[in-house]
């Protein structure tokens, strides 16, 4: 157990001000931003403590949004994507506005409905250097981009790779009507074979070969 400073005591939980919602160590929370009109900060609670005046503070580890990172937001970043940073702070518990859930990438792609307070994380981020862990992820399609769970993709029955409709010269509406699909490379290799796989919106259960990986 972490040492507590004199006059401080560790708490197992605290209640969000004005609500009956309980926050415990390990929970993900939404914290009030400094500027009005900006989205709330997202953090993971690492420790909860109170002083001898019963002022409650939380030690948090911040999640960064892609636009807050050194590299900025890129095409494959999802709208609800966060990076778990190594940046930690101590904040008043009164700045907590609510609770949220930060899913693993795999679990997020399996959600039937994504709620307002649902997020996902697939990278850890070092705020001082801009480095990511892992530094290599699976890439898909002719454009060789990591998977964005907000984008619809089609799977080729031949090579089992996944493709963005736009990279295949299709609109999303056309892709949704597909019963079968073969990419251009597989058509060239097996011209008499007409067909392919059915449309799907989640390629996460498909394993990618090692040679289809690169630095993000």
Give residue 176's pLDDT.
87
Would you state the structure tokens that stand for residue 107, as one six-digit string?
Answer: 């679990």
Would you state the structure tokens that stand for residue 30, as one six-digit string?
Answer: 């939404």
The structural architecture, per CATH, of the domain 9-133 is Roll (2.30)
Give residue 74's pLDDT.
93
Give residue 7's pLDDT.
74
Q: Exposed (0-12), middle (13-18) or buried (19+): which is 6, by Cβ within 10 Å?
A: exposed
> Which pTM does this prediction carry?
0.79
Would you state the structure tokens that stand for residue 171, as one six-digit string?
Answer: 């609109």
Give residue 196's pLDDT.
41
Helix (H, G, I), strand (E, B) or coil at 28: strand
Taking the C-alpha atoms of residue 10 and residue 30, their distance in angstroms, rounded to an integer, is 21
Sign of the alpha-carbon torsion through 168, 188, 213, 108: positive
Give residue 203's pLDDT.
45
**What is the CATH class of 138-200+211-215?**
alpha beta
The full set of domain ranges for the chain reads 9-133, 138-200+211-215
In the predicted model, residues of the chain with pLDDT beneath 50 are 193-216
Give residue 28's pLDDT.
98
User: What one-character DSSP code corresponds to residue 205?
Assistant: T
Taking the C-alpha atoms of residue 216 and residue 80, their distance in angstroms, rounded to an integer, is 18
Give residue 210's pLDDT.
36
Q: How many CB atoms lie within 10 A of CB 79?
A: 12
Helix (H, G, I), strand (E, B) or coil at 166: helix
pLDDT tens for 137-182 read: 899 999 999 999 999 899 999 999 999 999 999 898 998 888 888 8
Give residue 54's pLDDT.
86
Give residue 2's pLDDT.
54
Residue that has been written with the tokens 């004199």 in this structure? 6
């Amino acid at each position: 157990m972490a040492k507590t400073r004199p006059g401080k005591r560790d708490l197992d939980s605290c209640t969000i001000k004005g609500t009956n919602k309980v926050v415990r160590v390990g929970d993900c929370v939404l914290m009030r931003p400094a500027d009005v009109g900006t989205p709330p900060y997202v953090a993971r609670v690492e420790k909860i403590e109170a002083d001898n005046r019963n002022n409650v503070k939380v030690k948090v580890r911040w999640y960064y949004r892609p636009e807050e990172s050194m590299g900025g937001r890129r095409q494959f970043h999802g709208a609800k994507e966060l990076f778990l940073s190594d940046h930690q702070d101590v904040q008043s518990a009164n700045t907590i506005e609510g609770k949220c859930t930060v899913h693993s990438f795999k679990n997020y792609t399996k959600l039937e409905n994504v709620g307002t307070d649902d997020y996902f994380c697939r990278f850890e981020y070092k705020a001082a250097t801009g480095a990511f862990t892992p530094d290599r992820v699976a890439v898909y399609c002719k454009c060789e981009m990591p998977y964005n769970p907000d984008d619809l993709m089609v799977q080729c029955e031949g090579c089992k790779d996944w493709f963005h409709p736009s990279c295949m010269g299709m609109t999303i509406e056309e892709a949704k009507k597909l019963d079968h699909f073969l990419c251009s490379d597989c058509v060239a290799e097996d011209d008499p074979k007409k067909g392919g796989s059915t449309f799907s919106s989640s390629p996460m259960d498909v394993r990618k070969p090692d040679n289809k990986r690169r630095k993000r």
